[in-house]
Amino acid sequence: MTDSWATFGADLHLETAGAAGLRAGLMDALREAVRTGRLAPGTRLPSSRSLAVDLGIARNTVADAYAELVAEGWLTARQGSGTRVARRAEPRRTVTRATRSRPVRSRPAHDLLPGSPDLSTFPRADWLKAARRALTTAPNDAFGYGDPRGRIELRTVLADYLARARGVHADPERIVICAGFVQALKLMGTVLRKRRVREVAVESYGLDVHWKLLADAGLRMPCLTVDGLGARTGELAGLRGVGAVLMTPAHQFPTGAPLHPDRRAAAVDWARGTGGLILEDDYDGEFRYDRQPVGALQGLDPERVVHLGTTSKSLAPGLRLGWMVLPGSLVEEVTEAKGLSDWSSSALEQLTLAEFIESGAYDRHVRSMRLRYRRRRDQLVAVLAQRAPDVRISGIAAGLHAVLELPEGSEPSVMRAAAWQGLALEGLSRFRHPQAPPGRDALVIGYGTPTDSAWAGTLEALLRVLS
């Protein structure tokens, strides 16, 4: 009887060996489970009949043990509510020298980290409506293993949406649904390596997690210089071993520069002339403010550009929903790699997103958030002009972040000041490629991250840091 599990409601594991007598052993095991926190306050215990059957002892033995532990205050018993663990104070943890000396990172009081939307604005009610409709109308085969490319309902709706909103030439048969950009890039790394590609060019500023994914696939990553016109795509001609390039053409991350039309054309010409591929990260293409929307690069040559998009900025990263619009020559290889990876994303989440887009709720949400983020951007620009006029701001025509230029050599001290103010943010150097030369000092401000209620206080904290 050293290992026993009850079958009433929740499993209950008790160690009863070593005690003199069945009742005493059961009581000791229950006390120990409560004392160590294995049985949390309020946990309902199995009935005396169920536990007796499970342990192979008399029911009266269990009932007597329960009654005595109730009298001692370990348990409570109420008619209709069963026997539960009493609401006792949780056991105190011993503080050792090691735990005392370990630094504890507290949550920052203010958050301006780039890369996240305002999560408090997730359209819960509309999403729930879409989820109910999707579940009600879901075909039976939606609950099977499905197509590694994803549900045809979502791929069809996405093809229409991307053509209308982003200028993408999309066919449902060429779309693969994935768990966000990270999985898409991982799949592309696998496929490129299998095609004997050895190098993928990247921008001189970007996310190290993306570079690591490519490195894990066995790919080398020379970098293209980024300036005020985006990546210098003319440098691709001098990179003889490169078979693909990863870019953020609509709104370079993190500098915020859109890729100049001449450089867009140069990238496509390079891909056509060499047989290379362009991996287009369209991470926040829906959010633009002071300019006409910049269409997706994929529209210039659908056979040479892989268009990668997600709901991470438009809705929430926790949904883990993204898509790849592929050249025809890549569909079979990517689908095979997807099938070997995780087969398919959640069918119900895909059907919900399809319903959400088709109903018009997605467009309404994007328009609403575009206005909200533009107001924040305008407030940031205005308050900097008034109270920190020496700070130049750039990269603000689109997206959810801005770049604040700093005096040369001041980025480290400003970052330390931010830490003292409890303000989480990133310096531009954090995103510089290891092969890129030292660049300008600046802050990357994610003004889309705070909630509305936190925005004013976060802005004040930033101003204190800059002063």
CATH number of the domain bearing residue 145: 3.40.640.10
* Residue 357 sits in the same domain as residue 370: no
Q: Where are the alpha helices (DSSP H) in 122-179?
A: 124-137, 152-166
Q: Please tell me the predicted confidence (pLDDT) of residue 14.
A: 73
Number of domains in the chain: 3
* Residue 410 sits in the same domain as residue 431: yes
* Residue 285 forms part of a structural domain: yes
The domain boundary residue, chosen from 336, 363, 390: 363
Statement: residue 20 has pLDDT above 90: no
Q: Which residue in the block uniquely carries the two structure tokens 């999403």? A: 127
Structure tokens at 107: 């949550």
* Residue 451 sits in the same domain as residue 370: yes
* Residue 358 sits in the same domain as residue 389: no
Average pLDDT over residues 204-229: 96
User: Are the C-beta atoms of residues 247 and 205 closer than 8 Å to each other?
Assistant: no
Angstrom distances, CA of residue 124 to CA of 111, 130, 460: 23, 10, 30
Provide CB contacts within 8 A for 126, sequence distance 6+. Answer: 356, 359, 361, 364, 365
Structure tokens at 62: 């269990």
Q: Where are the beta strands (DSSP E) in 292-359?
A: 305-310, 322-325
User: Are the C-beta atoms of residues 285 and 309 closer than 8 Å to each other?
Assistant: yes
Note if the bond before 254 is cis, omega within 30 degrees: yes
- Of 307, 272, 324, 350, nearest in space to 166 by CA: 307
Q: Please tell me the predicted confidence (pLDDT) of residue 33.
A: 86
Confidence of residue 92 (pLDDT cuts 50, 70, 90): very low
Higher pLDDT, 8 or 211: 211
Angle between helices 452-466 and 361-387 (to 10 degrees): 30
Average pLDDT over residues 21-37: 86
The domain boundary residue, chosen from 348, 363, 378: 363
* Residue 217 sits in the same domain as residue 278: yes
Q: Reduced to 3 DSSP states, what percent helix, strand and coil does the chain have, rounded to the nearest 5? A: 45, 15, 40
* Residue 128 sits in the same domain as residue 248: yes
* Residue 40 forms part of a structural domain: yes
Q: What is the largest CA-CA distance in the chain?
A: 86
Rg (CA), the chain: 29
* Residue 137 sits in the same domain as residue 155: yes
- Give me the count of residues in the chain: 467
* Residue 33 sits in the same domain as residue 149: no
Q: How far apart are CA 195 and CA 156, in angstroms?
A: 29
Provide CB contacts within 8 A for 70, sequence distance 6+. Answer: 76, 77, 83
Q: Please tell me the predicted confidence (pLDDT) of residue 404.
A: 97
CATH label of the domain that carries residue 405: 3.90.1150.10
Q: Please tell me the predicted confidence (pLDDT) of residue 138.
A: 96
* Residue 400 forms part of a structural domain: yes
Q: In degrees, to the nearest 5, what angle opens at C-alpha 180 toward C-alphas 176 and 186?
A: 75
Statement: residue 106 has pLDDT above 80: no
* Residue 332 sits in the same domain as residue 400: no
Confidence of residue 98 (pLDDT cuts 50, 70, 90): very low
Statement: residue 16 has pLDDT above 70: no
Provide CB contacts within 8 A for 44, sequence distance 6+. Answer: 9, 10, 81, 82, 83, 84
* Residue 53 sits in the same domain as residue 167: no
Note if the bond before 302 is cis, omega within 30 degrees: no
CATH label of the domain that carries residue 62: 1.10.10.10
Average pLDDT over residues 414-423: 93
Confidence of residue 87 (pLDDT cuts 50, 70, 90): confident
Strand 226-227 vs strand 423-424: parallel, antiparallel, or unpaired? unpaired
User: Are the C-beta atoms of residues 221 and 201 closer than 8 Å to each other?
Assistant: yes
Q: How far apart are CA 358 and CA 221, in angstroms?
A: 39
* HSE value, Cβ hemisphere, 13 Å, CA-based, for 416: 3
Range of the domain at 31: 4-85
Residue 245 φ/ψ, nearest 5 degrees: -140, 135
Average pLDDT over residues 234-262: 95
Terminal Cα distance for the chain, rounded: 69
* Residue 443 forms part of a structural domain: yes
Q: Please tell me the predicted confidence (pLDDT) of residue 283.
A: 87
* Residue 93 forms part of a structural domain: no
Statement: residue 290 has pLDDT above 90: no
Structure tokens at 378: 């305008």
The domain boundary residue, chosen from 328, 363, 398: 363
* Residue 460 forms part of a structural domain: yes
* Residue 321 sits in the same domain as residue 210: yes
7-11, 300-304, 325-329, 357-361: range with lowest mean pLDDT = 7-11
Distance of CA 395 to the CA centre of its chain: 23
93-102, 117-126, 342-351, 435-444: range with lowest mean pLDDT = 93-102
Structure tokens at 236: 């691709």
* Residue 102 forms part of a structural domain: no
- Of 250, 327, 258, 253, nearest in space to 282 by CA: 250
Statement: residue 248 has pLDDT above 50: yes
User: Are the C-beta atoms of residues 345 and 123 closer than 8 Å to each other?
Assistant: no
Using CB atoms within 10 Å of the CB of residue 274, give its burial: 0 to 12 exposed, 13 to 18 middle, 19+ buried.
middle
* Residue 395 sits in the same domain as residue 337: no
* Residue 203 forms part of a structural domain: yes
Residue 6 φ/ψ, nearest 5 degrees: -85, 160
Percent of the chain past pLDDT 90, that is, above it, reads: 73
Q: Please tell me the predicted confidence (pLDDT) of residue 102.
A: 39
Average pLDDT over residues 198-222: 97
Structure tokens at 363: 């467009």
